[in-house]
Amino acid sequence: MVQYAASTDVSSEKSLTEIKRTVTRYGATHFGFLDEPGRASVAFRLGDRQVRFALPLPDRQAREFAHHSRGVREKQAADRLYEQAIRQRWRALALAVKAKLEAVESGIGEFDAEFYAYLVLPNGRTMFEETRDQVIHAIEAGATGRLMLEAPGA
């Protein structure tokens, strides 16, 4: 599979700024960013909805950066690969946010449907964090409902 923006030169900071500009253009009134070991989070408020994306970041010490087929990779080369992976993830997040907002704006989807997993509940958790275990249990129990192309009531 081809990875979106795998060779991008766009910095993480520029992608973050793009995300902020995008959500503001679509009506967001609040925006926040948190950087912590292993992940970054981007949050915004649009109307009465709060949305939070957690962006998992790769481990700098991961084998994919530190080694190659002939052994240990030089530190500079490992650092370049790691930074490239970080830039790629930020570009992918910018694309995802923009696509979801444009789908809503174009009438393809509803806001709550497009951002369902990322909606922040009053307890501070996202819908995904709150319901993940129940959904997995339902799928494993075979309670998945009709096929996606089946008409309702079929």
24 vs 78, higher pLDDT: 24
pLDDT on residue 152: 64
Q: For residues 22-26, give the mean pLDDT.
A: 98
pTM higher than 0.85 for the full model? Answer: yes
- CB under 8 Å to 15, separation ≥6 — which residues? 87, 90, 91, 93, 94
- CB under 8 Å to 85, separation ≥6 — which residues? 58, 64, 65
Structure tokens at 129: 């964090």
Q: Please report the beta strands in the chain, taking only residues with DSSP state E, as ranges in sequence order.
A: 30-36, 39-46, 49-56, 67-68, 71-72
Q: Where are the domains of the chain?
A: 12-111
Task: Tell me the per-residue pLDDT of 57-106, one tens digit each, with 9 for 90 and over.
Answer: 999 888 888 888 888 889 998 899 999 999 999 999 999 999 999 999 99
Residue 29, SS3 per DSSP: coil
For the chain, give the percent of residues with pLDDT over 90: 73
Asked if pLDDT for residue 23 goes beyond 90, the answer is yes
